[in-house]
Chain A
Amino acid sequence: MNVKKNKNAGIPVPAIVWWVTVAFLLAAVVYPMTVLIANSFRAQGTASFDNYRRLFSDPSIRKSLLNSLRVVVPSTVLSTALGVFCAWAVVRTNVPGRKLFSRILAIPYFIPPFIGAISWTFLLGPKGILNRVLMDIFRLSEAPIDIYTIGGMIFVMSVYRFAVPFIVVMPTMKRISASMEEAARISGATPLRAMLDITLPLLLPSILGSMLLVFLFILSDFGVSAVLGAPNRIRLVTTEIFYLINRPDLPDHLQIASAYAMLLTVFALGGLYVYRRILKGSRYAVVRGESGGLAPASLPGAAKWGLFAALCVIFLVTTMAPVAAACVTALTKTWGIPFSAENATLANFTGLAAIRNISRAFRNSLLLAFLSALIITAVTLIVSYMAVRKKARGVAGVRIMEIMVTLPYALPGTIIALGMILAFARPLPYIGISIYGTFSILLIAYVARFLNLGYNNITGAISQIDTSLEEAARMAGAGEVRTFRDIVIPLLLPSLGGTMLLVIAPTISEISLSSLLWSVRNETIGTVIYSAMEEGRILREAALAVLLILLVVIVNFAAHSITERKDRYGKTGDR
């Protein structure tokens, strides 16, 4: 992929690929982001710092920022701890059912945030099932748990987002040479001690990376904060931004909202910086590929079943409970009447067919999810490869590309959508093509928003491939393109598949971008769910949600069994 090197080659393919990628990123990400940034500096039609000044003078903005930190910091820590614990149990111990757990504990990632939050209100709201049970048991006159609080948000975000570190850390954990842990055991360390002293520090880069990801996830979350924050008017950054967007009477309200959103990117960049700083000393991030996970630590019976029970509880609380709540709702005939055999129906599902264009919405969402997953995987593969392998040679713009790929992820979807409108409402300059109101604008917005998911995942995977593997191919006479195709891509296949899954889940149910950018013929499931939500059609919403979760889980399981077969590459060193 070196740009300068191909003087004698007929067509400089690497250079072309790189510059096409750069051009795409410039158009799809850099341009709208620049417009957005420029816009955040506009007040009363002229450039100024007024919007930013306002950020620091408005007490409700300050309050929302503090609220956000009070929610985001603990839930990032909690969900990371929970996710890493589960990954460890599943990969490194002989807990019964570990294979199954490794799949089903990832399900919360595939539940759309709004749905998850609403399901939790069914469980822990004042009239929620769990609260009622507790009231019955302890003879209480009031619901003991109030989910509409900061604590409630921390709880829901954590049990919901722990799947991100779980998914990200698990593969790395599998790849750490088993002899590292065994060396600690033979030195006298118990399995737990070996985990704390050896495995955990070795996983640090991966854990920090997933922590950053989950931090951004939670920081830019709108679903949970909107649903749980509303009753007591607890505003977080995202809901405050939405409030500003909702204030057309306020001059420059979109500009102020953009400025506030830019503040989030400061957090994102800060997080990225801290992450880099911590990783600076650990050049050992390259985990040797030679040895796969040998036999996991065999725990004695009591510990084994204790761990099993813990994983069951985690699964019940984080996955079964909200999914069951959604299912029960979807099967309810009349909302407001307790669920029973008489009050059960399949009509909510069959009734979906009557929604106009529902099939087109499903088709569009599937296509959008699949295409954006494909594009994101391809683009981030190229950018990550350049960043990891060619960084030292100072190829132009790699660092900038890296930042550009990371930033949109920290922004709330609505803001990205506004950026897209600002950038693309007019026909493109010079080219004259208008993509506004087409399928393409949704695709571009999806790609821009979720690029970071791919970038994080693939960068990690590339740095784990020993350069000697590529060098061997070069020695064997393969050119750069050939090496990339024959060596790098096959070795990365499991990670590339994983990345596509990571992208498909949030895109297939995307709401924030779609609800501003959709147009006739380009409906998405997200817009249908959003409409159902606004119209108070909770039963329809639940039925859609159940279908959606089912769909994504099936895709996930199918893809898993495929990548699992591919994953044997990583385990050739097994004895």
Chain B
Amino acid sequence: MKTKKIISLFLSTLLVLSLAGCGNTSAGAAKGEAVSGSLVLYTSEPEELVSELIAAFNREYPDVAIELFRSGTGKVTAKMDAELATGSTMANLIWFADIGYMKNLDEQGMLVHYKAPNAAGIDPSYVYGDGFGTEVRLIYNVIAYNTAEVSAAPADWQDVTKEEYRGSFAIADPNYSGGSFTALVTHVQYPDAVGWKWYEDIMANECRFEQSNGALMTKVSSGEYKAAEIVDFQIRAAKAEGSPVDLVYPASGAVLVPTPLCIMNNVPEDSLEAAKAFVNWCLSDTAQEMLAAQQYIPVGNVAGPEGAPKASEIRVLPFDLDYFTRESAGIRETYTERFGGTEG
């Protein structure tokens, strides 16, 4: 009798919750292409964004079913590694911030090389290798700062090594964040702008660490950190919501964090065209505009987010896949040796 009460309590909670969010059904009629198939996408991109993209894609390609798994980059690769240890992974499409992992997959012949027709108009450096992966939007590691805590906005990487930022400048821990590790490699590649020296300086300035960009953002907004090296789109989003934060693309160059979209070669024969269609579609103006609306710098030729520079206007420390492949292991070792030890 009393268990009934518990159950009814549960059920009523369920009911309230299910009333709270009624999904909107998409009117699916569109171009009516003859592409069909079913795919699984593993990604570290925000789930809402990817779900919206898939829904928009399905308006044009109603017969392509894309299932989604989203988690942090490290967890996605761990899941793939575990799956691969049993023989094969469920993922057909992958999209996350670990180009080293993707390059490694490519070397084992596990990625489909594909040059999307829509990629013809974009900077060729955004198509990696021989087409094993394509950037569909751009994210940069930049300097974000709390406008209430900082009197003069920093302009370049060197500025955060000043005394003002002692103990209040933070980066994502390269040991945990794939994006931050990519940034480390690129930083080291350009010793004139950043280099090891910069890491020495920020460490000497009591640099703080977080495991993810999310935590960095929360704490820059709250003023716990005056500034941080962080991805640009999140800061733009927070700024748009009114948080006291702003970002600068450093004068000597922002760091492009590669997050390509790749097709795995385990994609079923009859779904290969669907996978290619999705990659190509992500480069379409429709998709690019949706991405821009989410504060990403588009890779295509549509208007970017409000107040953001165009990709071509941003001074970057160019990402070099060959350098990355060649040097990343050594750089990790050096980093761990010099700065990476645990403390406490």
Expressed in whole angstroms, the Cα–Cα distance for A74 and B243 within the complex equals 39
Expressed in whole angstroms, the Cα–Cα distance for A527 and B83 within the complex equals 20
Expressed in whole angstroms, the Cα–Cα distance for A125 and B47 within the complex equals 30
- A83: min CB distance to chain B, Å: 26
Whether B71 contacts A530 by the Cβ 8 Å rule is yes
Whether B210 contacts A335 by the Cβ 8 Å rule is no
Q: What 10 additional pairs, Cβ within 8 angstroms, besides A39-B85, A421-B86, A527-B71?
A: A127-B222, A231-B209, A245-B75, A245-B78, A336-B148, A336-B245, A359-B22, A533-B212, A534-B214, A535-B46
Expressed in whole angstroms, the Cα–Cα distance for A125 and B215 within the complex equals 13
User: Does A99 belong to the interface (CB within 8 Å)?
Assistant: no
Whether A150 contacts B344 by the Cβ 8 Å rule is yes
User: Does A558 belong to the interface (CB within 8 Å)?
Assistant: yes
Expressed in whole angstroms, the Cα–Cα distance for A254 and B75 within the complex equals 11
Enumerate chain B residues within 8 angstroms of A254, measured Cβ to Cβ. Answer: 78, 81-82, 85
The answer, among A70, A150, A334, A558, for a CB contact under 8 Å with B242, is A334
Whether B344 contacts A234 by the Cβ 8 Å rule is yes
- A405: min CB distance to chain B, Å: 24
Residue of A nearest to B19 (CB): A359
Whether A418 contacts B10 by the Cβ 8 Å rule is no
Categorize the interface residue count of chain A. 35 or more
Whether B18 contacts A363 by the Cβ 8 Å rule is yes
User: Does B227 belong to the interface (CB within 8 Å)?
Assistant: no
Whether B98 contacts A248 by the Cβ 8 Å rule is yes
Which among A171-179, A197-205, A347-355, A479-487 touches the partner chain?
A: A347-355
Fill in one digit per residue for B212-236: 1 if any A CB lies within 8 Å of its CB, else 0.
1111111101111000000000100
Which among B107-115, B168-176, B275-283 touches the partner chain?
A: B168-176
Fill in one digit per residue for B91-103: 1 if any A CB lies within 8 Å of its CB, else 0.
0000000101100
Within A7-40, the residues touching B (CB, 8 Å) are 39
Residue of A nearest to B220 (CB): A336
User: Does B211 belong to the interface (CB within 8 Å)?
Assistant: yes
The answer, among B218, B219, B328, for a CB contact under 8 Å with A249, is B328
User: Does B14 belong to the interface (CB within 8 Å)?
Assistant: yes
Query: Contacts A240-B342, A363-B14; is A248 near B216 (CB within 8 Å)?
Result: no
Whether A536 contacts B341 by the Cβ 8 Å rule is no
Whether B238 contacts A536 by the Cβ 8 Å rule is yes
Fill in one digit per residue for A550-561: 1 if any B CB lies within 8 Å of its CB, else 0.
010011001100
Expressed in whole angstroms, the Cα–Cα distance for A147 and B129 within the complex equals 45
Expressed in whole angstroms, the Cα–Cα distance for A425 and B211 within the complex equals 28
Query: Contacts A126-B224, A422-B85, A558-B6; is A536 near B79 (CB within 8 Å)?
Result: no
Whether A335 contacts B222 by the Cβ 8 Å rule is yes
Fill in one digit per residue for B1-18: 1 if any A CB lies within 8 Å of its CB, else 0.
010011001100110011
Enumerate chain A residues within 8 angstroms of B21, measured Cβ to Cβ. Answer: 352-359
User: Does A6 belong to the interface (CB within 8 Å)?
Assistant: no
Expressed in whole angstroms, the Cα–Cα distance for A370 and B18 within the complex equals 17
Expressed in whole angstroms, the Cα–Cα distance for A515 and B78 within the complex equals 11
Within A29-63, the residues touching B (CB, 8 Å) are 39, 59-60, 63
User: Does A531 belong to the interface (CB within 8 Å)?
Assistant: yes
- A512: min CB distance to chain B, Å: 9
Whether B101 contacts A555 by the Cβ 8 Å rule is no
Fill in one digit per residue for A199-228: 1 if any B CB lies within 8 Å of its CB, else 0.
000000000000000000000000000110
Whether B51 contacts A356 by the Cβ 8 Å rule is yes
Expressed in whole angstroms, the Cα–Cα distance for A83 and B47 within the complex equals 40
The answer, among A127, A230, A436, for a CB contact under 8 Å with B173, is A230
Whether B344 contacts A558 by the Cβ 8 Å rule is no
Whether B23 contacts A356 by the Cβ 8 Å rule is yes
Query: Contacts A254-B81, A336-B223; is A230 near B46 (CB within 8 Å)?
Result: no
Interface centre among B90, B211, B224 (most CB of A within 10 A): B211
Instruction: Give the interface of A toward B (CB within 8 A).
Output: 39, 59-60, 63-64, 67, 70, 121-122, 125-127, 149-150, 226-227, 229-235, 240, 242-243, 245-249, 253-254, 333-337, 352-360, 362-363, 366, 370, 414, 418, 421-422, 425-426, 436-437, 515-516, 518-520, 527, 530-538, 551, 554-555, 558-559, 562, 565-566
CB pairs A–B below 8 angstroms (19 shown): A60-B340, A64-B342, A230-B210, A231-B210, A233-B343, A234-B344, A242-B176, A248-B74, A254-B82, A335-B218, A356-B23, A359-B18, A360-B18, A362-B17, A421-B79, A422-B85, A519-B67, A532-B214, A558-B6
Whether A232 contacts B343 by the Cβ 8 Å rule is yes
The answer, among A227, A232, A414, A527, for a CB contact under 8 Å with B344, is A232
Residue of B nearest to A149 (CB): B344
Expressed in whole angstroms, the Cα–Cα distance for A530 and B46 within the complex equals 11
Whether A555 contacts B9 by the Cβ 8 Å rule is yes
Whether B100 contacts A249 by the Cβ 8 Å rule is yes
Whether A536 contacts B213 by the Cβ 8 Å rule is yes
User: Does B195 belong to the interface (CB within 8 Å)?
Assistant: no
- A552: min CB distance to chain B, Å: 11
The answer, among A370, A519, A527, for a CB contact under 8 Å with B10, is A370
Enumerate chain A residues within 8 angstroms of B148, measured Cβ to Cβ. Answer: 336
Enumerate chain B residues within 8 angstroms of A334, measured Cβ to Cβ. Answer: 241-243
Whether B77 contacts A243 by the Cβ 8 Å rule is no
Enumerate chain A residues within 8 angstroms of B81, measured Cβ to Cβ. Answer: 248, 253-254
Residue of A nearest to B48 (CB): A356
User: Does B20 belong to the interface (CB within 8 Å)?
Assistant: yes
Expressed in whole angstroms, the Cα–Cα distance for A281 and B102 within the complex equals 59
Query: Contacts A235-B342, A334-B243, A336-B221; is A425 near B46 (CB within 8 Å)?
Result: no
The answer, among A370, A520, A534, A555, for a CB contact under 8 Å with B213, is A534
Expressed in whole angstroms, the Cα–Cα distance for A421 and B213 within the complex equals 27
Expressed in whole angstroms, the Cα–Cα distance for A432 and B318 within the complex equals 50
Query: Contacts A356-B51, A538-B218, A565-B2; is A234 near B10 (CB within 8 Å)?
Result: no
Expressed in whole angstroms, the Cα–Cα distance for A551 and B12 within the complex equals 12
- B142: min CB distance to chain A, Å: 15
Residue of B nearest to A39 (CB): B85
A-B pairs, top 7 by smallest CB distance, nearest first, are: A536-B217, A234-B344, A246-B74, A336-B221, A536-B214, A235-B342, A421-B82
